[in-house]
Structure 1
Amino acid sequence: MCEDNKNIGLPVVTLKDINLSYESEKGTVTALENIDLNISKGEFICVLGPSGCGKSTLLKIIAGFLKPTSGVAKMDDAIIEGADWHRGVVFQAPTLYPWLNIRDNVSFGLKMRKLPKDEIKKLTDKYLEEVGLTEFHKHKPYELSGGMKQRASLARVLVNNPKMILMDEPFGALDALTRQNMQALVRTLWWKTKNTIFLITHDVDEALALGTRIIVMSSRPGKIVKEFNTEFTYRMSAENSDNTRYTSEYMKIREEILDLINHQPYIFKI
């Protein structure tokens, strides 16, 4: 896709000198150290790093689930004080309410915000269709496959039109084919909604296939060791194929990222 179509804009989230430490049975653990990060509107950021490097901790700070020990996390120049519907979160395990059908799960946030009934129906119908679950709207979560549950979780976040979507290894539990289909769906929805996405993954190919910027973190204490600005997701969207994965440019960046991660010492989670 041409440069004019790329949907990168003004800063949405700013992290300045973020540090996070906590006490464990083995003493003080520093999970994150000196994190500086600006996330712009429309970016699709993918975060990679060895297990235990603080990727999920970083996401939880942005989401407002955790407060940093020091440093400042802001969204639109306001300090992040807690969870907010403007930052929707999709976890690895779908967090659907088992007693509600899929329609009611998707519309739950809208109802809590007390939107008009006709608007709730319109938005719910729209995003059920976007994720391909219209005909399953009366089903309970236990009646759906893993991929369908994750699509419902995604619709439940998208329907609120958040300023940012945070995804913590959302496809990690899915089989390879379903995972690839979900990646294509998320890429399409990102392009259509012009949303800002922050995704954590252990899969280098997933990061390269989706991200406009890839962040590689060090082992604990987690620091940003390198960033890559990539355009593969634009090419895959334009070509509607995965042929980009086989280009020399793709393979070069892939090998560099793997080398960065594999040369980090493994840290067991405490």
Structure 2
Amino acid sequence: MGNEEIKDDYVITLKDINLKYEGEKGVVTALENVNLNIENGEFICVLGPSGCGKSTLLKIIAGLLAPSSGEAKMDQGIIKGPDYNRGVVFQNPTLYPWLNIRDNVGFGLKMRKFPKEDIARRTKQYLELVNLSEFEKHKPYELSGGMKQRASLAKVLVNNPRVILMDEPLGALDALTRQNMQSLIRSLWWKTNKTVFLITHDVDEALSLGTRVIVMSSRPGRIVKEFKTDFTYNITGDNGDRCRYSDHYLKIREEILNLINDQGDKYVI
């Protein structure tokens, strides 16, 4: 992509990203020449074979890893480290076991020295948003897996980040809880207009949530193909199955599965 095509309103810009590290058998190239521009309000879903560098790419955007070469920018400024404007939700909920849910959600604001009344107000707002108000005094061990993940979402959202980075956040949940969490994430995205970057191994999850689905190659990770999608706007209530069984949906689904399976990582159909 030439410089003349780069827009000023990209929230995230990745240019010629490469990442290498020293492995047991020598230098390993995890990512190779990754280029990606993310616009404000997009919902990006990333698929690819195991070990292709999906999580590594997320960590670079989060500022947890620096690329070996290339540039990772947010709002045209180089990403130099973690920042509350890029909130991260991991597969395992990151909650402090000694704090109740209310204090877990408000912890980041407390560390940023927000006034107590602001912390209380914003914490209440986001606990309501994820339907956990009545559990605010519970400790994490008293909550189900889905409830813990909702609390982790609130913990990120309360800081009002520009970008939400999600590394297989629903991978450990049962099928019904996962479906409910997908609906919640979609609803939160609609309500907050945040930019979301989500990694998943589930093709249907990617197609039902994302506005753009990115498929990565086996290591070294490269972007193989991108798909513009709009199913997330139509998958609501009883309309979900009709959308998922449409010819257009099934055609894209099959193409994505073939792209991944051709690289040796057999996704379940």
**Coarse TM-score class (shorter-chain normalised):** over 0.9
Q: Is the 8 A contact 2:14 2:71 kept in 1?
A: yes
Instruction: Name segments (4+ residues, structure 1) moved above 6 Å.
Output: none
Q: Is the 8 A contact 2:16 2:69 kept in 1?
A: yes
- C-alpha deviation, 1:41, in angstroms: 0.3
Q: Against the structure 1 CA distance between its residues 164 and 239, is the aligned structure 2 distance closer, same or farther, given a 3 Å change threshold?
A: farther
Counterpart of 1:234 in structure 2 is 233
- State how far apart, in whole Å, the 1-side matches of 2:143 and 2:46 are: 29
Q: 5+ unaligned residues in a row in structure 2: which ranges?
A: 1-7
Q: Say if 2:123 is the partner of 1:127.
A: no
**What is the CA-CA distance between 1:119 and the residue it aligns to?**
1.4
Alignment of 1:1-270 (within 5 A): 10-237=9-236, 241-266=240-265
Report Cα offsets for 1:102-145 as digits up to 9, x if no partner. 00000001111111222111111111011110000000000000
2:238, 2:13 → 1: CA distance? 33
Provide the rounded CA distance (Å) in 2 between the counterparts of 1:246 and 1:23. Answer: 45
TM-score normalized by the length of structure 2: 0.94
% identical aligned pairs: 74
- Per mean C-alpha deviation after superposition, the further-off stretch among 236-245 and 216-225 is 236-245
With structure 1 as the length reference, what TM-score do the two structures score? 0.93
Answer whether contact 1:187 1:237 (CA < 8 A) is retained.
no
Uncovered stretches (5+) of structure 1, i.e. residues with no partner = 1-8
Deviation at 1:243, TM superposition (A): 2.6
Counterpart CA distance in 1 for 2:38 and 2:259 is 22
CA distance in 2, matches of 1:101, 1:131: 16
| Structure 1 Cα separation of the partners of residues 9 and 253 of structure 2 | 28
Give the root-mean-square deviation of aligned CA atoms: 1.5
Q: Higher mean Cα deviation, 236-245 or 122-131?
A: 236-245
Query: 1: distance between equivalents of 2:256 and 2:189?
Result: 24
